[in-house]
Amino acid sequence: MQLVYYLPIITTITAVFFSWEVANRYRERQGLHLLWWSIGIVCFGLGTLIESCVTLFGWHPSLFRLWYITGALLGAAPLAQGTVYLLLNKKIAHTLAVFLSLFVVIASTFVFLTPIDASLAEGGQLTGKVIVWKKVRYFSIFLNVYAVFFLGGGALLSAWRFYKKGREHYNRFIGNVLITLGTFCAAAGGASARMGHTEILYVAELIALVIIYLGYRINIKPVK
């Protein structure tokens, strides 16, 4: 098996450290955006953990269903919801959180109910092609658009705002640019997986998480 299939192991380890750091910051500051970010990183890490299990132990329908929920459905949407809490007023954020949660519950139910055609798992790869009820895959498209719009778009908006504030906010400008790049990198990986290129997904996941992690670390540095 090619080395690229072992990359999710590194990504999972990175997600453990990242989620632990954000969770600690949430315990200190209690911001709902931090809670959602920590949930999002945990979900992302669970997705790559399942990818690691498939690499080490082989493909199984139950693993696929769990991967699709944690990776395809929840890989980025909770992170985006964290940005919603950071940038929008609390009432709107609460409304979107309820909508997002209900949507994920409904989508997950369909993922568990749909028949799986294991013969389409080429080489034991994780691919949505095995889902018999093809329209179930539309759920992940909506959640990915939600993630790109709020996480990537929110970070881009924040970068622009900090850029206009001058050099004393340069770190946060750079941090948000990195988060934007990481978001689009993850989205590109997801699109590649949809077309059957799982190897590109594994590379993109690692690069995206590392870039977003760096952006987060730069953002939390005190303004001088």
pLDDT value of residue 26: 92
Enumerate domains of the chain plus CATH numbers.
Answer: 3-219 (1.20.1070)
The segments of the chain whose pLDDT lies below 50 read none
Q: Which amino acid is at 162?
A: F
Question: Among 89, 41, 86, 97, which Cα is nearest to 219's?
Answer: 86
pLDDT digits (tens, 9 = 90+) for 106-165: 999 999 999 999 888 877 788 888 999 999 999 999 999 999 999 999 999 999 988 888
Residue 81 tokens read as 């919801």
- Give me the residue label for tokens 């092609």: 129
pLDDT number for residue 125: 82
pLDDT of residue 167: 78
Judged by DSSP in three states, 126 sits in: coil
What DSSP assignment string belongs to 169-196?
GHHHHHHHHHHHHHHHHHHHHHHHHHTT
**DSSP calls for 51-97:** HHHHHHH---HHHHHHHIIIIIITSSHHHHHHHHHHHS-HHHHHHHH
Predicted pLDDT at 121:
82
**For residue 127, what pLDDT is reported?**
84
What is the rounded CA–CA span in Å between residue 74 and residue 207? 18
pLDDT for 224: 61
Distance (Å, whole) CA 190 – CA 198: 9
**What's the rounded Cα separation, in Å, for the pair 36 and 106?**
19
pTM: 0.91
The closest alpha carbon to 122, from 69, 71, 54, 204, belongs to 54
